[in-house]
Structures are given as C-alpha cells and as structure tokens.
C-alpha cells in the first residue's frame, strides 16, 4: 500500500475536525433536557481535572468553568475522597489534602458544576491509606504469609474483605452524598489488591475457609485447587463490593445516584485485578473506562476494539465514557507535559468510532504547559454536533472474534499477553488492515449474538463444555468457524483435554501429546512475554504453499519435490510467486480427516547461522499448517500455525494477508463492507433507524505502530461499497460529516457505492436508506 504524503504540512496546521461543518441536529428524545432516561444515559461528553494536593491553593474555578463550557462537557469527575479528601471530612483518619486547610473544594466544584447544568461524579480512590490509619485499625490491612502488611510506597493496602470496605467506605460515601449531592460516584482503585499478592489476613483466612472449606493457597499455582478457588472467590468478592458500593450510594443519594467503579480496557489488566467485565457490565448503569492511551504495539485501533468489546457485554444502549490523557502518558510519562494533540485526538476519535464517549483528563488544575488546553475542544465540539449518530446504534458485522475473561485467567495464567492477547491482537490488526468489520463476542453470549456468520477463535485454549456446546449450536445454525493454535484443547480450568473439543468440526486430531500449561512462573527466570522464541534456532521455520489437494486422496507425501504449478486454494491468493511463507513458530503433528484441504504444510527449522548452513534439511512434511473443510452452509478453517500471534509481534504483511484471506474464504459473501484505497483505515459500520453510519479512521502515519503521532497524513480517494439492508433503496447522496461535504452514491445490486475524496484524521459517512 502506498501513502500519498503531499499536502501534509497544511493538513497538520488545520485538523479536519476543526473545520467540520455544523449540521442541524434533530436531537432524539433521550438527549439532555429530557427526563425519560436517567442522567447517566444522557451524559455523552466528560471532563476530569484530577486534583493534586497542591491544587486547593491554586484551583481557579472560574477558569475551569469556562473550560467546561468551551469543551462542551455534560459531566465532570471531581475528586472527593479515599486516599485524599478534598473536603473537611468528619472522619478523623480520612486524610485531607495537604493544602486543603479547611476548604471544601469538592463541594465548591460540585456546586459550580451543578450551577452550570453539569452532572457530577464524585471520584474516590480507595485502596490504601497512611500510617496513622494503619495503626488505628491494624486488622483492616492486607498481609502477606508472614503477617506483614502489604505496602505501596509510604501507604498501606487495605484488605477487600475487611471493615474498611464494609463500614468505613460506605460511611464516607454517605457523608459525601449528603454534604454535596453529587449525581453519582466512581472509584479509581475500588477492586483492592491485585492477583500478584495473596492476602493472609484474618478476614481472608476465615472467609475463604467458610466458602471453600480449605486454607488459603500457599502460593500462586494454577494447578492447585485452593488457588483456583481463590481466584474465583476473589472475583466474587469484587462483584459483591461493587454491589455494596452501588447500594450505599443509591440509598444515600437517591435512585439515580449510582456508583460505578473504573474498569480497564485491557482484559488481562482486568483479570489481574479480579474485575469481571461481563459481570460488572450486567450491574453497571454506565461503564467508566480508565484506558487513557495506546500501547506501543497495539495502535489506535485498540480503542475502537475496546469500545466494541465493552458494548458487546454492556449493551449498545448504555454509555461507556473513557478517561483520555491530555498529558504525555507513554512512552515516557509526564503528568504535566502536553501530549501531542494529534496523538490525544486520534485516541479520542478511535474510541468514538467503537462507541466510546470522550472524557478529557488532566492531572493538576494548573499547568505551565498550556498547549494541552487546546487539545480536546475540536473533538468535543464535533461530538456534540453529531451526537445523534454516535449513540444508540447497532453494529453491523458478520465476523466475530470469541473472547472470555475465564480464558485469560485459566489458559493465559501468568502469560496471557503471549497466549491470549497477542493472537487476538493479530486478528484485530489483520481485520482492520483488510477493512473487514468485526465484533468481539463473549464466549457466554454466543447464543444471543445476532448477525455473526463467522466466529474466530484466536488461540482460545480454555473452553467449558457449555461454551463448546454453544459453538456447536452456532455451527448447526449455519455458522462458520476459524480457529487457531490450541483453541479448545483445554477445559475452563486450563486442564488438558484428550484432544480438541471441536476437532471433529475442523477435521483434525492432534497426534502429539497435549502440552500441560505452566502452573506458575513465580520464582522462575524472568521471561519477557513473546520474546522468548525470537532468536531461538527452532524459530527458523516456514510454511509451504501447496497446490490444492485433499488429505488421504492425493498427498502431500513427505519427500515430494516442491511443485510450482497447479491450482492453489483461494486462501493463498496473492502469493503466486512464492512457494514459502515465513512462519517462525512450531507445529504439532495432526491427522487430517479425509476430504479436508491442506493448503499449507510445515517446514521444520534449519540453521540461520553461519549462512553456509542455512539450507532446508527437510523441505517438505505432511504436518498441516492450515486445514480447510466445508459441511452444508458452514466452512471450517483450522490454523494450528500461530500466525495471528506472530502477526501481532512481527507485523509481517504476509501474515496479515494470510489471516485476511482465510477470514474472507470462511466468511463467503457475508462481509458487508468493502473499502478500497491507500492507507490503513479502521472501519466501523453501524445501523440506526433509516440509515447506516460508517466511521473511517485514518491510521496512516509515521507513528501508526508507536506513539506519539505528531503529524496527520491525509489519504484518498477512498472507494466505499456497502451492503444495503434488505428492502432498503439507498439515497443518491451520502453525508460526510467531518469534511462537511456530500458524496454521490451509485447502486450496484445490493450494494451502494460512493467515494470519499480525502480523509485526514477520520470521516463519518451517514448513509440514508
């Protein structure tokens, strides 16, 4: 793909969203001013000035009120209490901000926000306290196996099973609700201590014994029944605390005064702190995401993915605002320096495309780097102008990627980044690159998911029998499957099954023994996830592309000479001039059912160094790298080669192309969108009554794969072809609501086609049906 880079300076000076044309908004009934929905279903734009202890003497409330107005926020998050109190609390051990004196900064800010017509969420941060508190209530604190308190810097960590959570915090919530009447509460650290540390305090010991009839696990060991029970018990406790806090808040502040603790956008991060995204989503009126920036390896598309994943379990009618750092937050962490505006805005835009509501976030109320104050306004203003298109919409996609937090826990264990996240990310990247719309699908929600015709299992090792059964039902209903790696080779505890739970559907049986998952990585040599095999000699492997042949009918036979002619399968499209693809992984031996197609086979490792030795000792094997089959309306692709993980790690275009090809073959004609043109464009398609809404987020940049972007590079023209819903005629023009223009459409069969001349940061097409 080529990238036109002309015109970039001008593009940089004027971001496209500042130039957006304001369109008349026919506000739906549920927007501001209406009382048909509670406030937390109507707050689409958020702001947060995270108050430092110094701020009580320098917080210019008038200035920030003007900033709220300028950035069009409808709700603000204001620090109230927890580690630090910003009001004169009646609780003597509730540590007041060092510079608070007797000021009620939280109360003043809440009143100012209410006077301005804004909603207020009181922010708590409540998992640690200072030494005086510890001395007063030594039995409220998390302790290690020697009985010593767990500490973080000079603070002491409170135990999630102690009266701190059951008596003290509810008292603080009630005090804040009664004094200042915020509209709701959130909490930055509500889930207490993470999975890395087991608490052996008396409360934990007693409660665990009551629940599990056994002592707390001695150490982290995924094969130990006590540790397994401790993991599940720890999750249940967090969900209980969620319910307790919400009950307390509603009782003190009224039915709409909800409590909603912050959640990470990373499932692995949620797993490490026992926050169950699906269980929390069932209970949350609004989901508060603390997911402020992209990682080095995942790109902006990760935020669109997070939005779709969260709404998948939360529902698309609820809101999911996300804290977005306006300060430099990685790589390099500078709390009071401005993040480059394009980096911050692209994160906001990418999230919005996935259904996330924007929420600017500053640390401290006073800044010497004032550039950051210019950052959020254009995105916030554009969001307001177009809010009717950004909420209450149904995603349109035929491809689903299966995930479950249980798999992250019991299959991923201490290596979830490598075993779970990387394969998922590889598909996410490949699908975004190929402009194929997809949705994350929770393994327990498959029965109620609509519109998905292909389900991808990216190395989803752990599946329960019930999940296996629902996948079988999906197939029985005409669905197709694509699985990679060791999907279904383990049960919900990560214990090995005799063979793949879905092997009969894929037409494979594993011949090599099923590897046992690592019980623990504690105390072992430090292992950098994903890097272990990068330079290992066994990693110098390839996949051989072979002409179409059916297993058991016409080969392949070991020792055959590579063939350069013959009909190849559609999944090998674009690889005509090569008989090999780089691979890098290993492959187990599999027996393939008669009639299945094997378009790729394994080339075992051979030396890389010295170069004189770098020749294939075994050019051809019968070890399958990809197995394809069809039955009725369903297609099945099994990719034991972990090409998805490798694509996430290495970004080799061959791997991305192969994954996209396999998805396209498996999906048949069901993909509803085709987008042609240069660049990397993240596409999100939605339906609303009477129209389709299409986001095209331009990720093409010198910094696509590593933050920060400081320059936007326009791409175009982009040709869009979208399937019309049954019975829809399609209007002859499409509105482009970022550039403020109209594109002429043409109808071709069931599809509507139009061209977007140029996309700088993003475009949103509204297609009338």
β strands within 461-504, DSSP E = 480-484
CA angle 300, 301, 305 (to 5 degrees): 130
- In angstroms, the CA 189 to CA 79 distance is 13
Q: Which two tokens stand for residue 518?
A: 């690592």
CA distance 686 to 450: 14
Give Rg (Cα) of the chain: 27
- The position carrying tokens 């049960």 is 491
Query: Cβ contacts of residue 760 below 8 Å, gap of 6+?
Result: 11, 15, 16, 698, 712, 714
Nearer CB in complex with Zn ion: 43/201: 201
Residue 199 or 310: which CB sits closer to Zn ion? 199
Which residues form the interface with Zn ion (CB under 5 A)? 159, 161, 199, 201, 203-204
Round to whole Å and give the CA distance between 656 and 299.
Answer: 15
Q: Which of 257, 296, 253, 291 lies closest to 275 in space, CA to CA?
A: 291
How far, in Å, are 27, 497, 501, 678 from residue 438 at the CA level? 29, 29, 24, 21
Q: Tell me how far apart the alpha carbons of residues 499 and 468 are, in angstroms, rounded to a whole number.
A: 13
Concatenated DSSP letters for 160-205?
TTSHIIIIIHHHHHHHHHHHH--SEEEESSTT-S-TTS---SHHHH
Shortest distance, CB of residue 199 to Zn ion, whole angstroms? 3
Nearer residue to Zn ion within complex by CB, 100 or 204: 204
Q: What minimum distance in Å lies between the beta carbon of 158 and Zn ion?
A: 9
d(CA 78, CA 747): 51
User: Least Å distance between CB 142 and Zn ion?
Assistant: 5
Cβ nearer to Zn ion, comparing 234 with 704 = 234
Rounded CA separation 125/485 (Å): 40
198 or 508: CB nearest Zn ion: 198
- CA 79 – CA 364 distance, rounded (Å): 11
Continuous H helices in 399-449:
405-407, 416, 422-433
Is the Cβ of residue 59 or residue 208 nearer to Zn ion in the bound state?
208
The number of beta carbons lying within 10 Å of the beta carbon of residue 132 is 10
Q: State in angstroms the smallest separation of the CB of 154 from Zn ion.
A: 20
Strand 681-688 with 399-403, pairing: unpaired
Query: Least distance in Å: CB of 161 to Zn ion?
Result: 5
Minimum distance between the CB of residue 150 and Zn ion, rounded to whole angstroms?
Answer: 9
Q: Residue 444 has which token pair? A: 């327990």
Q: How far is the CB of 157 from Zn ion (least distance, A)?
A: 9
> What is the closest distance, in whole angstroms, from the C-beta atom of residue 230 to Zn ion in the complex?
11
Nearer of residues 159 and 587 to Zn ion, judged by Cβ = 159
**Phi, psi of 583, deg, nearest 5:** -125, -75
Return the number of the residue (199 or 648) whose C-beta is nearest Zn ion.
199
DSSP class of residue 208 equals: H
- Least Cβ distance, residue 202 to Zn ion (angstroms): 8
Tell me the C-alpha to C-alpha distance, in Å, between residue 507 and each of 243, 552, 601, 658: 46, 12, 16, 20
3-state secondary structure of 498: coil
* C-beta of 119 vs 235, nearer to Zn ion: 235
Nearer to Zn ion, 199 or 546 (CB): 199
CB 270, min distance to Zn ion, A = 21
Identify which of residues 208 and 347 has a Cβ nearer to Zn ion in the complex.
Answer: 208
Q: 34 or 144, CB closer to Zn ion?
A: 144
Partnered with residue 755 across adjacent β-strands are: 719
Min. distance of Cβ 141 from Zn ion in angstroms?
Answer: 8
460 within 8 A of 411, measured Cβ to Cβ? yes
The CB-of-91 to Zn ion minimum distance in angstroms stands at 21
């Amino acid at each position: 793909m080529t990238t036109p880079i002309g015109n970039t300076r001008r593009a940089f000076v004027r971001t496209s969203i500042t130039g957006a044309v304001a369109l008349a908004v026919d506000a739906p009934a549920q927007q501001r001013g209406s009382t048909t929905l509670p406030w937390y279903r109507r707050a689409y734009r958020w702001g947060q000035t995270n108050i430092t202890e110094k701020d009580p003497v320098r917080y210019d409330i008038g200035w920030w009120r003007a900033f709220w107005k300028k950035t069009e926020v409808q709700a603000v998050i204001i620090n109230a209490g927890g580690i630090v109190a910003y009001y004169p609390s009646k609780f003597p051990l509730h540590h007041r901000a060092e510079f608070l004196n007797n000021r009620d900064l939280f109360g003043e800010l809440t009143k100012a926000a209410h006077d301005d017509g804004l909603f207020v969420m009181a922010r708590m941060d409540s998992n640690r306290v200072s030494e005086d508190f510890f001395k007063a209530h030594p039995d409220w604190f998390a302790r290690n196996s020697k009985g010593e308190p767990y500490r973080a810097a000079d603070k002491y960590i409170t135990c999630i099973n102690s009266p701190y959570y059951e008596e003290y915090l509810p008292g603080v919530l009630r005090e804040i609700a009664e004094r200042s009447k915020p509209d709701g509460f959130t909490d930055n650290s509500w889930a207490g201590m993470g999975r890395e540390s087991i608490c052996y305090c008396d409360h934990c010991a007693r409660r665990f014994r009551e629940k599990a009839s056994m002592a707390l696990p001695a150490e982290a060991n995924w094969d130990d029944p006590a540790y397994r029970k401790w993991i599940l018990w720890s999750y249940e406790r967090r969900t209980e605390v969620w319910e307790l806090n919400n009950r307390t808040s509603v009782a003190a502040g009224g039915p709409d005064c909800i409590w909603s603790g912050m959640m990470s956008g990373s499932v692995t991060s949620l797993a490490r702190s026992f926050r169950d995204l699906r269980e929390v989503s069932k209970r949350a009126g609004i989901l508060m995401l603390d997911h402020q920036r992209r990682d080095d390896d995942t790109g902006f598309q990760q935020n669109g993915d997070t939005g779709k994943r969260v709404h998948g379990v939360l529902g698309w009618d609820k809101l999911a605002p996300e804290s977005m750092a306006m300060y430099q937050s990685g790589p390099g962490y500078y709390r009071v320096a401005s993040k480059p505006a394009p980096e911050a805005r692209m994160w906001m835009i990418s999230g919005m495309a996935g259904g996330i509501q924007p929420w600017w976030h500053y640390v401290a109320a006073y800044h010497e780097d004032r550039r950051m104050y210019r950052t959020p306004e254009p995105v916030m203003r554009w969001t307001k102008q177009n809010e009717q298109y950004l909420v209450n919409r149904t995603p349109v996609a035929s491809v689903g990627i299966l995930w479950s937090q249980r798999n992250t826990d019991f299959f991923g264990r201490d290596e979830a980044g490598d075993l779970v996240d990387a394969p998922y990310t590889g598909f996410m990247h490949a699908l975004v690159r190929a402009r194929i719309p997809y949705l994350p699908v929770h393994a327990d929600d498959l029965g109620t998911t609509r519109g998905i015709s292909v389900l991808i299992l990216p190395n989803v090792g752990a599946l329960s029998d019930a999940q296996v059964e629902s996948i079988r039902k999906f197939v029985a209903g005409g669905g197709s499957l694509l699985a990679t790696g060791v999907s279904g080779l383990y049960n919900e505890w990560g214990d090995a099954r005799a063979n793949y739970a879905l092997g009969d559907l894929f037409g494979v049986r594993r011949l090599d023994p099923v590897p046992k998952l690592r019980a623990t990585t504690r105390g072992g040599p430090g292992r950098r996830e994903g890097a272990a095999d990068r330079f290992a000699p066994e990693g110098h492997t390839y996949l051989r592309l072979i002409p179409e042949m059916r297993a058991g009918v016409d080969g392949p036979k070991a020792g055959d000479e590579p063939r350069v002619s013959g009909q190849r399968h559609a999944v090998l499209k674009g690889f005509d001039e090569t008989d090999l693809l780089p691979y890098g992984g290993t492959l187990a031996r599999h027996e393939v059912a008669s009639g299945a197609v094997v378009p790729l086979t394994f080339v075992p490792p051979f030396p890389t160094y010295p170069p004189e030795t770098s020749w294939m000792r075994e050019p051809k094997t019968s070890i399958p790298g990809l197995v394809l089959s069809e039955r009725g309306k369903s297609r099945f692709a099994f990719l034991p080669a972990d090409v998805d993980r490798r694509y996430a790690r290495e970004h080799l275009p061959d791997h991305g192309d192969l994954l996209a090809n396999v998805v396209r073959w498996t999906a048949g004609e069901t993909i509803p969108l085709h987008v042609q043109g240069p660049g990397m464009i993240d596409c999100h398609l939605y339906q609303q009554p009477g129209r389709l809404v299409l986001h095209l987020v331009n990720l093409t940049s010198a910094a696509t794969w590593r933050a920060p972007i400081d320059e936007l590079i326009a791409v175009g023209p982009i040709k869009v072809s979208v399937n019309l819903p049954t019975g829809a005629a399609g209007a002859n023009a499409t509105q482009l609501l970022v550039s403020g223009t109209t594109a002429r459409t043409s109808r071709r069969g069931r599809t509507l086609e139009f061209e977007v001349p140029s996309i700088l940061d993003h475009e949103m097409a509204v297609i009338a049906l």
